[in-house]
Chains A and B, each alone.
Chain A
Amino acid sequence: QKEVEQNSGPLSVPEGAIASLNCTYSDRGSQSFFWYRQYSGKSPELIMSIYSNGDKEDGRFTAQLNKASQYVSLLIRDSQPSDSATYLCAAISGGYNKLIFGAGTRLAVHP
């Protein structure tokens, strides 16, 4: 079982819609979670961090964490074509301080 799992997609949404990206993790000791965006040929760019259960909003982005169910999600409101990228979910392993990445979900926002 992979430690951080994501649906590889592609997830296709129309411009202006809400894109919902999901991720599950296996290590119950994980306390820190991150969403990165990676454009083709570029490096991962941090867009959200979340450490507590509940929602965290930043502009058009909302991260949600549910530790009991071991899932993390990212909502992108008013999706734009420029949001088209691969979104990587990551969790820091409970005992080892390692940031473990999921395989990423490819998002395509079409006009």
Chain B
Amino acid sequence: DAGVIQSPRHEVTEMGQEVTLRCKPISGHDYLFWYRQTMMRGLELLIYFNNNVPIDDSGMPEDRFSAKMPNASFSTLKIQPSEPRDSAVYFCASSLAAQQARFFGPGTRLTVL
């Protein structure tokens, strides 16, 4: 099992640029989650999907953030335009069911200059 796959692993961009983060969940997992981790705020849930449908996006900080899941094996998190305060590690995670553990990908470290 390859686990959750994320790309890119590192992204450095300039303020105002569009950033797209990608995720492939574990095959067979019905839930996909996007988290953001910073020193100040810890791990925060941004949005989650069930069977490719967005269920709760209340954690998405602003309209600059959007997420899609066009099929069961792929999701994107887009930030447009990016700002320095978006700098963080973004994790994608998946799980088999709502009450079960989330399995995390390696994360994307985003730096916005």
A residues contacting B by CB (< 8 A) are 31-32, 34, 42-46, 49, 51, 88, 92, 96-104
Interface size on B, residues (CB 8 A): 18
- Nearest CB on A from B90, distance (A): 11
Looking at chain B's contact residues, the main secondary structure is strand
The complex places the Cα of A104 from the Cα of B43 at a distance, in Å, of: 10
B99: chain A residues at CB < 8 Å are: 31-32, 51, 92, 97
Q: Chain A's interface: helix, strand, loop or mixed, by majority? A: loop
Tell me the smallest distance from the CB of B53 to a CB of chain A, in Å.
13
How far does the Cβ of A65 sit from chain B's closest Cβ, in whole Å? 14
User: Which one of B17-25, B61-69, B80-88, B104-112 is at the interface?
Assistant: B104-112
- Contact assessment for A99 and B104 in the assembled complex, using a CB-CB cutoff below 8 Å: no
B55 to chain A, nearest CB (A): 8
Chain A residues with CB under 8 A of B98: 92, 97
> Which listed residue (A31, A43, A98) contacts B91, Cβ 8 A?
A43
